[in-house]
Amino acid sequence: MPGTPPRRRPALRSLTSRRGAGGPERAGAGRPARVVVVGGGFAGFYALRYLQRHLPPESADLLLVTPEDYLLYSPLLPEVATGVVEARHIAVSLRRKLRRVRLVLGRVRDVDLAARTVSVQRGGTTQELAWDHLVLTPGSITRQFEIPGVPEHARGLKTLVEAVYLRDHLLEQLDLADAQPDTEAGRAARAEMLTVVAVGAGYTGTEFVAQAQRWLTRIERRWDRTRARDVRWVLVDVAPAVLPELGPQLGAHALTVLRDRGVDVRLETSVASADDTRVVLTDGSTIRTRTLVWGAGVVASPLVAALGLPTRRGRLVTDTDLSVPGVPGLWAAGDAAAVPDLAVAPGEDGALPDTQPTAQHAQRQGTAVGRNVAAALGHGTPRRYRHRDLGLVADLGGLDAVARPLGIRLTGPVAKVVTRGYHLLVLPATANRVRVAADWLFQSVLPPDETQLSVVRQEDARLAAAQATAIYGPAAAQR
């Protein structure tokens, strides 16, 4: 606000554990309460945005522990993987948008519920932070199942590293294929290089295949002997439908679009094993490929399992106000939390289903948890979380899209306009909106960007490395 003196951020030294002989100091001991938020995605960002706007500065120190200094707008990752949108443009600066919040860059490895501390790992160092209120919003990781070869050979699409890697990898495979000799061995290698298998026909797998296929048709002049139609696309899902999140009609439309474009969609099929040149499917077929893209759903961050608290389908159980039962001051929201969905009817057993792991819920749960933490600190009144789904959108590349805003089913160019408008609306920073809109504009008037940067090493794009799943230790993995 103009004329307001900048708020002083506490020195980092004073932010480390306040444990002394009498344990961590709490609100009421003459100090502001400390609210620690874990994870700067949709839920964590909106929680802090609410708190920085509604809590008087002297009432609370706000800390965010996050490995990156940006909120990743993940719904546009497929557009980064296909070079339509520049990677930086979907990274929203947390420092700029959360000016009152102290950023602690690192990952929370452990939460000590008795001592009310978290330990944060960054590189080789570990730092302990005390909390009065802890908001867990670490999101989810790609679900791998226990399929031989998947952790080593599949690549996810949940982080910027993975999106940038996939783009370069695809270009490299086409470059290599183009250079193969016209011998039996050369032709076999070329076929492997020109085959892409994507697993998971939710929005990650479907949008990636649909958009990447369109993108290659725009840049196929890059190669001498290879054209976009030479690439074989296989989309596999254990479910009987594509994009089930959008309902049967729109799912069927997306399936028709994909099949009309020559994508081999195999439903009610899964992967039995994978290695560096092959994927074996549960229908008995073997597909030779060097590109296995894994988008088979998500599972809550392993941090949740390590807490030893009740979970549902791996997500941390919360009450309808997003507090975690039995642990005063502990809250959770977003993909990592099992939040009863008050906007839908109970199931046959009388229990409410949990809210879906979507950005829409994570964003609104973030605001709700911010409100309830503020209320717990004596500012405002708490509320239960209730939100009716506003619908989802999926961009299928070119002029194709499917969207269901407020229950209205849309396809084709109208859906495309709605899809893009929705993303621009939901992106939480004007600077990012303008940059993404400019990317879309330039994409339609300038030649497509087809350069291969090779900035991500293959080992850094492996699921465990890119999504840092190995830091939590065996307790998390065993649960």
Ligand X SMILES: Cc1cc2nc3c(=O)[nH]c(=O)nc-3n(C[C@H](O)[C@H](O)[C@H](O)COP(=O)(O)OP(=O)(O)OC[C@H]3O[C@@H](n4cnc5c(N)ncnc54)[C@H](O)[C@@H]3O)c2cc1C
Nearest CB to ligand X, comparing residues 18 and 361: 361
Q: Does 75 bind ligand X (CB under 6 A)?
A: yes
Nearest CB to ligand X, comparing residues 67 and 398: 67
Instruction: Provide the token pair at 142.
Output: 């790609």
Element of type H or E holding 117: strand 117-122
CB distance 200 to 294 below 8 Å: yes
CB distance 117 to 15 below 8 Å: no
- Residues in 127-156 at the binding interface with ligand X, rule: CB under 6 A: 137-139
Q: Does 372 bind ligand X (CB under 6 A)?
A: no
Q: Does 360 bind ligand X (CB under 6 A)?
A: yes
Binding segment toward ligand X, per CB under 6 A, in 7-15, 42-50, 94-102, 264-272: 42-50
Which residue's CB atom is positioned nearest to ligand X? 41
- Residues in 373-392 at the binding interface with ligand X, rule: CB under 6 A: 392
Using alpha carbons, list the distances in angstroms from residue 248 to 255, 344, 360, 475.
Answer: 10, 19, 21, 39
Task: Rule CB under 6 A: choose which of 25, 32, 67, 405 binds ligand X.
Answer: 67
Contacts with 199 (C-beta within 8 Å, 6 or more apart), sequence order: 154, 205, 236, 237, 270, 271, 292, 293, 294, 295, 296
Q: Does 169 bind ligand X (CB under 6 A)?
A: no
Residue in the structure block whose two tokens are 């400019």 = 438
Binding segment toward ligand X, per CB under 6 A, in 73-81, 214-222, 249-257, 345-353: 73-81
Q: Does 206 bind ligand X (CB under 6 A)?
A: no
Q: Does 358 bind ligand X (CB under 6 A)?
A: yes
Binding segment toward ligand X, per CB under 6 A, in 75-83, 188-196, 249-257, 381-389: 75-83
Element of type H or E holding 196: strand 195-199
Q: Does 297 bind ligand X (CB under 6 A)?
A: no
Nearest CB to ligand X, comparing residues 81 and 265: 81
Please report, as a single letter, which amino acid is at residue 266: R
Instruction: Provide the token pair at 425.
Output: 């609306």
Q: Give CA–CA dist 134/112, Å, rounded.
A: 11
Nearest CB to ligand X, comparing residues 17 and 282: 17
Strand partners, 311: 316
The distance of closest approach from Cβ of residue 449 to ligand X in the complex, given in angstroms and rounded to an integer, is 20
CB distance 89 to 435 below 8 Å: yes
- Pairing state of beta strands 33-38 and 60-66? parallel
Q: Does 49 bind ligand X (CB under 6 A)?
A: no
Task: Rule CB under 6 A: choose which of 34, 89, 97, 107 binds ligand X.
Answer: 107
The distance of closest approach from Cβ of residue 155 to ligand X in the complex, given in angstroms and rounded to an integer, is 12
The DSSP 8-state label assigned to residue 37 in this structure reads E
The distance of closest approach from Cβ of residue 335 to ligand X in the complex, given in angstroms and rounded to an integer, is 4
The distance of closest approach from Cβ of residue 86 to ligand X in the complex, given in angstroms and rounded to an integer, is 16
Closest CA to 460 of 70, 132, 162: 162
Nearest CB to ligand X, comparing residues 52 and 301: 301
Please report, as a single letter, which amino acid is at residue 390: L
Q: Does 83 bind ligand X (CB under 6 A)?
A: no
CB distance 197 to 292 below 8 Å: yes
Q: Does 301 bind ligand X (CB under 6 A)?
A: yes
Nearest CB to ligand X, comparing residues 189 and 235: 235
CB distance 237 to 269 below 8 Å: yes
The distance of closest approach from Cβ of residue 222 to ligand X in the complex, given in angstroms and rounded to an integer, is 25
φ, ψ of residue 101 in degrees (nearest 5): -100, 135
Task: Rule CB under 6 A: choose which of 35, 36, 38, 243 binds ligand X.
Answer: 38
Chain centroid to Cα 134, Å, comes to 21
Residues 321-350, mask of contacts with ligand X (x by CB under 6 A): -------------xxx--------------
Task: Rule CB under 6 A: choose which of 357, 370, 391, 397 binds ligand X.
Answer: 357
φ, ψ of residue 351 in degrees (nearest 5): -90, 150
Q: Does 242 bind ligand X (CB under 6 A)?
A: no
CA pseudo-torsion sign 218, 222, 228, 234: negative
Q: Does 204 bind ligand X (CB under 6 A)?
A: yes
Nearest CB to ligand X, comparing residues 63 and 228: 63
Q: Does 108 bind ligand X (CB under 6 A)?
A: yes
Q: Does 157 bind ligand X (CB under 6 A)?
A: yes
Instruction: Provide the token pair at 438.
Output: 């400019």
Nearest CB to ligand X, comparing residues 150 and 157: 157
Task: Please report, in angstroms and rounded to a whole number, the separation of the first and last CA atoms in the chain.
Answer: 47
Using alpha carbons, list the distances in angstroms from residue 3 to 6, 152, 203.
Answer: 9, 55, 45
Binding segment toward ligand X, per CB under 6 A, in 147-155, 232-240, 282-290, 358-366: 358-366
Strand partners, 312: 315
- Pairing state of beta strands 315-317 and 337-338? parallel
Q: Does 397 bind ligand X (CB under 6 A)?
A: no
Residues that bind ligand X (CB under 6 A): 38-44, 65-68, 74-75, 77-78, 107-108, 137-139, 157-158, 203-204, 301, 303, 334-336, 357-360, 362, 392-393
